[in-house]
Structure 1
Amino acid sequence: MTAHVSTDEAEALAVAAALAGEFRAGAAERDAGRRLPRAELERLSASGLLAVTVPAEYGGADIGAEALAEIFRLLGSADASLAQIPQSHFVYVNVIHRQGTEGQRKFFFAELLAGSRPANAQSEAGTKHVQDIRTRLERAADGSYVLRGVKHYSTGALFADWIPVLARAEDDQLHVAYVPRDAPGLTVVDDWDGMGQRTTASGTVRLDGVAVPADRVLPHHLTFQGPQLHGAVAQLLHAAIDVGIAGAALAEAAEFVRTKSRPWFESGADTAAEDPLLIQRFGELALLTRASEALLREGARSVDTAAARLTDESAAEASIAVAAAKVQAAEAAVAVAGALFEVSGTRSALDSLNLHRYWRDARTHTLHDPARWKIQHIGRYVLSGTLPPRHGLL
């Protein structure tokens, strides 16, 4: 594949806005029929957006967190499923950036600039908790590795060129093995049946004796031995998707009320858009959405500030700012997507309109990790100055 190479943030944002317009047009139909977005992902790859965080010294645009979050907000406002697919892509590009050798960086960054798509094989089902990773990297006699395990919620794996697999080596430390999608022994099963984000194909990856060269394995555990932004960036992109859903649901509700709703007879208004109680409710929903957008920008700027001078304190501030953004974004996405029906009336509940996709996507995506624990870490930071933990989910 030959992909366009973005040169700066302004170009990347313009490309994202144009693609969002394209993707929005077919989002409802794709969701309703669970038509997987293969063609759309090819467009995304060809656009060069998937390589915008490649460092400048390797030929990339090297955009910052604020611009990247805006790209995800734009894509999330168009199609939350499609926006979710490259989230782990950028997370595992960051692993290469931070833990890769010079040779690994040259190889993988060239792959990205050519349009290749990494995905993820990270989470496991039936274990004690989310960080109880049981997939194993076994050392072979020639120094290479063999992968064995089963992964679930593997968003993007079905469409990927490379599948980063989170696994434990013989020392029980976490590593990431970057495995080609067509590697012998690797099977991707399209068994995702979530009520929302229907077209992410977040199914199962089975690893049955997959051979992995030593130079395709990175020591991810080292990421957490010092100040890091791995979790903050990952969570920022999740927050951006939720903010996009909230904004899109609000815009959809406003358009519906302006063009399709009837005023309640007691309002005395000629149109639904002139109903004072609806006006009040839209004002409340706009405040909720605008607050999520503002906190997203603040979180992204905190990440960029920390990246320029990374310390325990700057990393903590970034993680807390992103946690605040994520909590607000989750609340806004679910609340605004649910209120769409409240303000639009009975007709909006018709299945044929598929307006419920906003709520289904919001409710499904916001289950990724619990907001209640983010609030705990925010409270401890404010009250006692306790720095948030380095576990990659904050």
Structure 2
Amino acid sequence: MITDDAEALAVAAALADAFRPGAAERDARRQLPHAEIDQLSSSGLLGITVPRAHGGADVTAGTLTEVFRLLATADSSIAQIPQSHFVYVNVLRAQGSCGQQEFFFREVLAGRRFGNAQAEAGTAHAQDIRTRLKADGDGGFVLTGIKHYCTGALFAHWIPVLARGDQDKLHVAYVPRDAPGVTIVDDWDGMGQRTTASGTVRLDGVDVPADRVIPHHLTFEGPQLHGAYAQLLHAAIDSGVARAALTEAVEFVRTKSRPWFESESATATEDPLLVQRFGALELRARAAQALLESAARALDTAIAHLTDDTAAEASIAVAAAKAYSAETAVDTASALFEVAGTRAALESLNLHRYWRDARTHTLHDPVRWKVQHLGRYLLTGNRPPRHGLL
């Protein structure tokens, strides 16, 4: 059991150090991190956002963000796997009944993991959810649908499923991963984030008791932080990837690179053009982290005093952090090869995993729309829309 923010950060740093050495090989072999995720569970980190009234540490958004950034500096796939876990703990905090909270928070503190079954393929757009939750006539429900990009589901004990119920209202059904009618298919073959196992979940007439269903549509009927909370964790992963790629580049240039002959420098680290380039890269990495920390503070402020204005400020701050960290991750991972030179491209080194991971993870949702919302908020004061991706 982790009891406070300082302990959570210390545990996350220790886990990052433990996960880092095997990250390249896990990626190269697509060796799924079952042992590492079990270690994450047993560490107590998965329970750090459970309210204190239920026995959790109830850490700040700033602490949780730093936990994700630290894990991503070691292995961004491992960092992404529990992202949905914390989002769906937050859904319970927002709309769960007292009984639901008591049951599921106890599960989380015991190390049980939430996955996700949200996204669908072949629909009109990301919010076009066609998975159905229908009343069974006996007080329960039946769940039917196919979900894609289900990060965390393969490692989960519970799979929160986003579905439409009566009157097309949005609900979340918490389903045991081994429930009859649930099939998890490990068919993720993305070029990056290879070991997230973000495959397919099939739901074929799955029985769901009423006390396992959350009325998620209520979240968006007033000021809400669901989207900002989820997006902040994605931004933390991107910021962590940027820092990891830059750290790798520094080590490579220090230990393996030769100076360009025209620089007349004794070592690569004295080459003035390399010094300038590294300075620029460090500036961006620091700016990404600063925006991340600022967004986390805005989210903590809104959590403490939720209004339309504080929710808007938090969403806009997170949008800025997400947009900048995404670009920084991709650009820094690419620059690694620019500063390290030809040898860095050797397949045996697998340094391209940083770019592959950054490019893949930042496709989660388009940052161009976050920039649009920033511009509108600045020019007109219009608050950003209430949905789960902002």
The TM-score bracket by the shorter chain reads: over 0.9
Whole-angstrom distance in 1 between the partners of 2:185 and 2:318: 33
Corresponding residue for residue 259 of structure 1 = 255
Residue 322 in structure 1 maps to residue 322 in structure 2: no
Corresponding residue for residue 103 of structure 1 = 99
Whole-angstrom distance in 2 between the partners of 1:39 and 1:131: 34
Secondary structure at the counterpart of residue 182 of structure 1: coil
Whole-angstrom distance in 2 between the partners of 1:64 and 1:392: 20
Whole-angstrom distance in 2 between the partners of 1:351 and 1:48: 36
Corresponding residue for residue 348 of structure 1 = 344
Corresponding residue for residue 161 of structure 2 = 165
Paired AA for residue 89 in structure 1: H
Residue 46 in structure 1 maps to residue 42 in structure 2: yes
Secondary structure at the counterpart of residue 171 of structure 1: helix
Whole-angstrom distance in 2 between the partners of 1:328 and 1:338: 15
TM-score (norm 1): 0.99
Paired AA for residue 45 in structure 1: S
Deviation (angstroms), 1:49: 0.3
Corresponding residue for residue 278 of structure 1 = 274
Corresponding residue for residue 151 of structure 1 = 147
Whole-angstrom distance in 1 between the partners of 2:220 and 2:191: 34
Aligned pairs (5 A) from 1:201-212:
201-212=197-208
Whole-angstrom distance in 1 between the partners of 2:217 and 2:44: 30
Count of aligned pairs: 390
Equivalent residue in structure 2 for 1:76, among 72, 80, 85 = 72
Residues 188-216 of structure 1 deviation map (CA, whole Å, 9 limit, x = unaligned): 00000000000000000000000000000
Paired AA for residue 113 in structure 1: L
Corresponding residue for residue 132 of structure 1 = 128
Residue 196 in structure 1 maps to residue 192 in structure 2: yes
Secondary structure at the counterpart of residue 149 of structure 2: strand
Whole-angstrom distance in 1 between the partners of 2:329 and 2:195: 19
Whole-angstrom distance in 2 between the partners of 1:222 and 1:119: 22
Whole-angstrom distance in 2 between the partners of 1:265 and 1:141: 79
TM-score (norm 2): 1.00
Paired AA for residue 57 in structure 1: A
Residues 110-149 of structure 1 deviation map (CA, whole Å, 9 limit, x = unaligned): 0000000001000000000000000000100101000000
Aligned pairs (5 A) from 1:207-246:
207-246=203-242
Residues 309-354 of structure 1 deviation map (CA, whole Å, 9 limit, x = unaligned): 0000000000000000001100110000000000000000001000
Secondary structure at the counterpart of residue 200 of structure 2: strand
Residue 55 in structure 1 maps to residue 51 in structure 2: yes
Residue 360 in structure 1 maps to residue 356 in structure 2: yes
Residue 301 in structure 1 maps to residue 302 in structure 2: no
Whole-angstrom distance in 1 between the partners of 2:109 and 2:78: 20
Residue 387 in structure 1 maps to residue 383 in structure 2: yes
Corresponding residue for residue 332 of structure 2 = 336
Which structure 1 residue ranges, 5 or more long, are not aligned? Answer: none
Runs of 4 or more off by more than 3 Å in structure 1?
none
Paired AA for residue 198 in structure 2: S
CA RMSD of aligned residues (A): 0.4
Paired AA for residue 91 in structure 2: V
Residue 36 in structure 1 maps to residue 32 in structure 2: yes
Deviation (angstroms), 1:170: 2.2
Residue 376 in structure 1 maps to residue 376 in structure 2: no
Deviation (angstroms), 1:98: 0.6
Residues 162-193 of structure 1 deviation map (CA, whole Å, 9 limit, x = unaligned): 00000001221000000001000000000000
Secondary structure at the counterpart of residue 178 of structure 2: coil
Whole-angstrom distance in 2 between the partners of 1:229 and 1:57: 21
Residue 117 in structure 1 maps to residue 117 in structure 2: no
Paired AA for residue 79 in structure 1: D
Whole-angstrom distance in 2 between the partners of 1:323 and 1:239: 9
Whole-angstrom distance in 1 between the partners of 2:107 and 2:65: 23
Residues 202-238 of structure 1 deviation map (CA, whole Å, 9 limit, x = unaligned): 0000000000000000000000001111101100000
What percent of counterpart residues are identical? 73
Secondary structure at the counterpart of residue 111 of structure 1: helix
Whole-angstrom distance in 2 between the partners of 1:305 and 1:98: 16
Secondary structure at the counterpart of residue 222 of structure 1: helix
Secondary structure at the counterpart of residue 168 of structure 2: coil
Paired AA for residue 294 in structure 1: A
Whole-angstrom distance in 1 between the partners of 2:364 and 2:130: 20
Deviation (angstroms), 1:100: 0.3
Whole-angstrom distance in 1 between the partners of 2:225 and 2:44: 24
Paired AA for residue 287 in structure 1: L
Residue 19 in structure 1 maps to residue 15 in structure 2: yes
Which structure 2 residue ranges, 5 or more long, are not aligned? Answer: none
